[in-house]
Structure 1
Amino acid sequence: FLSSVPSLCVFFGDERASDIILTHLNTYLNDTDWMLKCAFFKAIVGVAIYIGGAGLEDFILPLMIQALADPQDFVVEQALRSLASMAELGLLHRSKTWELIDVVARFELHPNVWIKEAAVHFVCAATTYLSVADVRILVTPLIQPFLKVPLSTLSESELLDALRKPLPKGVLDLALEWAKRVDRGIFWKSARESKQLSYHATTRMPPTSSVADLGPRALARTPKNDEDEQWLGRLRNAGMTQEDEMKILAFREYLWRAAQRMKKEGRTDQDSLFEDVISLTRLDITPQTIIFDNDVQAYQERAKDQDLSERSIAEALEEAAGPQKDQSFKRLSLTGIPDRDAAGGLAVTSETSHPIDTQPRRLSGVKKQASGSLSSSPSSAMGLLGERGARSKPSAAGLISGSETRNKALPAVATADATAAGKLDTPHVRSARNSPGPQSRPRVPERARSRRAVHSYAGNDPTVLKLLDAVYVDSFPVDAAEFGPMIQPFKRGHIASSTNNISGPWHPQGQLLAVLGEHTAKISRIVVAPDHAFFLTASDDGTVKVWDSSRLERNVTHRSRHTYKLAPGAKATSLCFVENTHTFACTASDGMIHVVKIDVAESANTTKYGKIRLLRDWQMPTSSPGKEYAVWSEHYRGDTASTLVLATNLGRILSIDLRSTLIMFELHVQPQHGSPASFCTGRKRDWLLVGTTRGVLELWDLRFRVRLKSWAMPSAIPVTRLQLYPARGSKKRDRVCISGGTAAGEITVWSIEKGICYEAYRPMNTKGAERMTSRGYELKNLDDERPDGQLSRVAGSVAADPNLSGATNTMSPHLTPMYFGAQQEENDRDDSNVFAVSGGPDGRVRFWDCDHLQGCRMISGEKTTPDEQLPKYTYSMLGLDTRVLSEKSSDADGMAESAIESNKIASNAAATGPVSAKRSTGGAARSGGPKPSRYDAIRLSAQNLLDGHLDTITDVAVLERPFGMVLSADRAGQVFVHQ
């Protein structure tokens, strides 16, 4: 009815519309339904246009001003929107405009964003027909008390930016509760007598703001008693500041009137229909639990049928507007459906009909519908295929023009109209006749009969069956169907050692076990399978190789089990496993993304590998003219999606659903921060931290897809690795391990929440000791920095670092790959022994025990000369929070008493065989005796030549099966395995 009120005004005329329509509409506001009130204010604008200024000022405006004190925020917002519409139409007189602006301006500080924006909209709309002088002299003083800075022009965007902070929602709700429960207080006495929200505000010219005298000390001058002081104390405890005191006074009449309406309408005792929770037990409804089977074959069949039944909006519009296109289905309906012969029976359909063979799924649904029985199978006409597969619908346009009826009647219209009319109701007629004999009944495929068994629903409701089919397809774990089976991650405990007589946490002994040299170019990534049965290596030679873990111990010569080759000329840029599966995702430099599955079957003593299967390969969509490819990738599984997150060289973060290979969303790193080099996600997948090539960290909220913060690391060195700290304690849960952004070879542990560095692992500096300062471990907030500040920081770091200024290759000279792991204690699962493995720019691989100095050691590249002594490790503190674990040479001055010599296996030759014996010989030569000859020096230095990397280390990893091993790869394409 309310939508037709303007038409009724035209019908009754000016005089009778004011007498009849307005008096009738006023009764709608007596109802407590807020939706009815909102509909009233939407319709009142059209009435105001017709009845003119007199009826508007005498009847409509008083009702709208009173509605501003409604306890429901939706009503207040809609009343403000209607006032703004009237102001834009020029229905308000100038004198009334000042009064309305003075009343509405206080709502610009309302905590509800919709009310705040509606108030700003009205203030700006009220100045539509005012001159610049009127705005400056008359309007600006009315809104000035609510602004933090003066305005140059009165536009919505500028006004929203210039407003003070709104009153906190908790403070407003507590003040509303105070107004409802006032007893002896005198604070609200002036609100009872105020008439500002009764459309009788100031009439002076020039108008003055009703809150102009509410200064910082206005609340102190307001009369109060002990009860009021107690409530004010509660407001201050709820978060009210001195700045908010003026806002409470501005909203005092609004709060008082809203509280009185709430008491009158009884909103505290009973909620509205839409705010109430419907109880199924109160309605005597017993929920039924449906259990789905984890059948991969059934899921694949359902998914195919869902694809056949779904159509896009574009296809539906094209079918409705265009000619009939589904000719194959039309032929199917003519040749595939058994037709009734002259005797009333059913003619047997030939099994060699080509239309039937080409579309078997649609045919099965049509046959069931033609037989007259309502099948309970999800593949029936009302099941998975829906109505589209149940009957032939030539087009929507044909339904409007009646072409469907004519098409059905055409074969019989020339002979007998009665027969044609009978065929139109064939489903009802067929259901009343006897079933045909077995020899003439169409045979139902066995697959269609067995597809009902995917869930435990025993009913025959076609709507429920269709819903269950849709839920089954949407919620089925596709990872188990395509990328699976799901692999149980390796149990986190003490890592097994190659020598069983060692108790306690695992520490690598530094013995070279194998050198894998099949790659011919730089190895960019090493990833270990979730169950540590094998590991993968990706290289610039365009291959990804699969290495069996168990064969590293048994075999003397080592060969990869599988090799996956990319396109010719393409390099592998990133690599990751699909979470808890043996399927990996690899990206190439040509922009291609490959998802490959490795079939692994383990028996008692051996592991069998099947063929590599390519599951997905598609080109990364890009709109940039340059070549775009992924530089880092991670995968995680959610409740409804299998998400692959990619960081590209052009500054994009892509979130891709592997089920449909569609981009769910994309984020853009700021260009001045550099291009992404690495990233990591939170444990709950609610945030993402990106490290860039200019030493910048960007924190993103994945729930709202907004950038929260940006920090600059102490140095503009690329952040090449990011990893969550493996300890799961509450204090260390959100800490992140970072490689890059500090001194060469260092790895650090930071708290993202506080921006504090808690741990730093500092290797020995071969060029002399660098002085450590607390400023070297502080993050700089870039949100408050000038635009040219980042450029000057990068330029200063490059000029100060000769390695950066003279570098001509694409690889960072300070690349420090790292891996953090944890070994859980058997007695206490919350306690874990955290360790780190790093590969420094000096070609050495180090093992850091985060809690025990005696566990730290070098794994490879320990000596460059025979006279070099083993390093020592010491703790130190920088400030109150940062703990630094430093590696120093044995002859360094000022060594702390806590420094413990690295327990390299050279000190125990009998336990580790001939290699240890040789190292022990070298240690004896250092400790004393005559100086070795030149021949002995060359021989001793050659012993360790093949034990370490001769090129830059590019990645490290830890393999825990069959025992603990450290994997390290370099730019020459070699992988070293140490135990």
Structure 2
Amino acid sequence: MIKKEPNHRLSAEEYMIQQRGKAFPEYFFSFLKLYLQRFATAPILPPDDRIIRLKKDFSKITKNLCVKEDHCEENVGLVLVLSLLESSSRKLHFFNTKIMALQLLLDFSKYLTTDIILDRIVPYMLHFANDHFPRVRAELVRVITQCLKTIKSVPRSDANIFPEYIFPSLSNLTQDPSAMVRAAYAENIAQLAETGLKVLEMMQRSDLEEKEEEETDSTTFQASYDMELLSLQETIQQKVVTLLSDPDNMVKQALMENGITRLCVFFGRQKANDVLLSHMITFLNDKTDWKLRGSFFDNIVGVAAYVGWQSSPVLKPLLEQGLNDTEEFVVYRTLRTLQSLTELGLLPKTMLHEFLQDVVPFLAHSGIWIRQGAVGFISAVAKTFNIADIHCKLLPLVQVFLNKSVLQINKEVYLLNALEGSVPRKVFDYILKSNLLGRLFDTLQERQYMRKVYRNKVTYSEMDESMSQIFRKLSSLGMAEEHEDKVLAMKDYIIKLHRIRAGSSENEPRNGEEMNRPGEINVISVRAVTRRHAELERSKDSKMDGSTGTPPSRGKKKQQTLDSQTSSSMNPEWKSMFGSSDSSSATDSPKSKSIVKAELQEKKISSSTTSLTSQGSSNSGSFVTMSQGQISIPEGTLARGTIGAITQDMNKIMATRYNPCKLELRNLVHQQRDRYNDEILSKDLLIDDLSPWESQPPLSNWRPKGLLVAHLHEHRGSINRIQVSCDHSYFATASNDGSIKLWECDKLEGKSSINRSKQTINLKDGKINSLVFCEGSLSLAAATENNNIHVYKIESGKANAVNKLEIDKDEFGKVVDVTHYDTGAQSVLAYATVNGYIMGFDLRSNKEVWKLKNDPKKGLITTCAVHHSQCWFAVGTSSGSHVCWDLRFQLPITSIEHPMGARVRKLIVHPKEQSWIISATQGNNEVSMWDVETGARRKALWASPAPPLSQKQASNHSVYGMHMVMTDNNVIMLTASSDMRARFWDINYPANSYIMAPAAMDPGHQPSVSYRSRLIEGTEVIIETYTKKQTLTSEDIPRCGPDTPAIGHHDVISDINTCMASQCLVITGSRDGVVKVWK
């Protein structure tokens, strides 16, 4: 090949034949040449396909090249295939082929020598350290760790490969944006540290062997080794500290569970204590991640064993915290840790005595694994104690929880077999959640003392109603007298656990009306916060309240306090521009036509003066007068009506210089305030004109007698919805017969001989599922089973169709409920579909204004309601979920689950309590009032023979319709049930409740019904109970004659409502198409 004469040179093919068996092994001709030729001839495979082909043919390659894992020096033929792999790996596009390439590099490294691994494989692996796929970067860490683990010797030129090349190339992975990559680095950092130390020791050993023959002083090499070891430890320490301080708990857990003990050996005892143990202790501060806390106790034993018995004072408070953890998994891991530390002899005897006091009560714990953990620790302690300690200190503590004597207490099996029964789980959980825990334990101690005093039959002292109720509940859950002693034994543990779960302690300060909760900031109390916003709605100040001669109400006092506090912390420039909260207009006062007229005149005058001053200021150089709320005009100035006088008075006011941007901002705020006030005024006037019901509510002693005044049977199908207009002049009924009928309220009081509907609207679109009045009862919207929503104008004598919404049934599902609210600027028709969509449609602009998607895991939507403030929206589902949505941010606020997962049939918003919703659920005629702010069930109505709020359904009857009425000083709930009865519930005085309209099939002399209130698990429940039939006297027996026709309903009452004519009337509709009016 290097001969001068070209004619003397042979061809490449001839040289290959000549060197066959010499320079070219036999496998080159039989396999390698033909195999590599496939990748060089057309069609040329892309890099990703080459990697896939190599991965598929790897076993064939190793077989034909006769490679052996224990003879790496002979596997030189594999280097040619490695070149093909490396050239293709730098041009890959897909993450799966990149991971495949890393796996191939690792497989190739098992058959190649160390110099080839370090020079030709490791650089190509580290090329993926900056890949944009997180999974590739994570796989790189695992692959390179396994690859470097197999090296057995290192050339002198690569002695510093770890501190100078490997770790600097991986340095950015500790701050990688993906937690998956950081966790992978944490899993392998211990192995990388061990491999780096092994390389350093190999180089030190080879240097000592080379210098032994020259008889050179070895102290020089020892000093060099110590310096390099210190440098390596500092490098690893930086990485470990960063990973231990990672914000993601998954990274911390990965580091602990994958070699924390090996890192202790690598760092030495001092650094293991200063670096590792000091950072691991902070993991217990995380109160939300119980897996991290459990992992801490799983891995602390190795660290403590390496640090030695000196770590026991540090570990003691950590172990005590673990024993009082809220998660039983962490408690169990703590007990196992105590057992291991005891067996290793790392805990002194005095400390073991203290831990025994805390652990022995766990022998009666409801969790079987905690009992097993406690038995393991006690057996380990018994092995370390002598006979005197066992009989004098250990057995007296344990004997209370044993049903027989145990000689070999150091045997776990024997001790487990001798244990008495544990406290039932339901009893333990109920005691833990009790709000009267202190009184409960006092009562239990008193009962225990009585049992010790009286040997035979025990007579306990009487308890108050709350304690009696708690003990009845505990007895129903299975607690007996033998369990009371066990509960008392766990008194300290239960109290600590109760305080931790409740998030409070005995020394927590209580100031004012409410406490500061962890994680919450009371903005009102923080006076240093500078206010940088302007209020659109400005409340009356105290002077204006005093001028009318009426004292400010409680709500106004609270608002004045808030305004004064926020005004004191307001930015001074903002205060001068927009005015403080004290100088506010009387927007909140009751509006009349004269007041509105005066305000509009004042607005015109003030706007004219503002424009004049602005014009003058622009000519004189950015001088602007004070804000509108701060202008003081002398009395009588407006009466004179001269602009010159106004200008003369205003020139006396101090002027303030503003930038143009501040001037524009001030004008914008005033413009928005005027717009907001106009909307509020128009809305209040509309409400005042259309709501005589709110201005004249029923009397406080209103109790309908159940007298039937009208029986209407024009519908031929089930009544699905009854809606009353805002002015209570008429009401509408929707039916399965596809029609809507309008009825005049004042003609249904029993004065007219014929009761007929005023108007009938035939939709001819299937059954009508839902109905709602819109736009001040001037429109009516109805949803049909064909997934259409029809909107009709009913302001004239005839209803006219104005809109029709066609909802895509395949995409959104069937419309289940509709409701309406008016913001002033928008008239929003909100509807919910069975597929979880909640949408709002503006009837004025004829467009969709918002769309929400409920989580399908919560169940199918069955009903919905909008709050009076128009800020949030609530839906009920078939799985018993109550989901509340914030309409401003269009986000779910909270979700409340029914304990039984019962279907929500009807949902309304409480008219008085701002954060309450009322839902009727399937079974037991149950109605619950939920506080969406706290998620608690505040009140419940229960008309069923089953025990109140029980887990079983004794009655299949459910409430289908409900309506809440607010009187002057009372709250009344009307419910319509599938048992064909309409009930009157007096929320404030439950004993005044009664069945307003019995079913048609009820006997004339039915058992008397009584109502009473009980407090069950923190919920006030109003219960309906039946007493025995009274004995009929001769006067009570009806005389012979024709039977009086039944006035009640013959089928399920599907809805109920009220209307105000000359008196308050109750309207009910049933499934047989009958509408009845009661008084």
| TM-score normalised by length of structure 2 | 0.40
Greater C-alpha Rg: 2
| TM-score normalised by length of structure 1 | 0.44
Greater helix content: 2
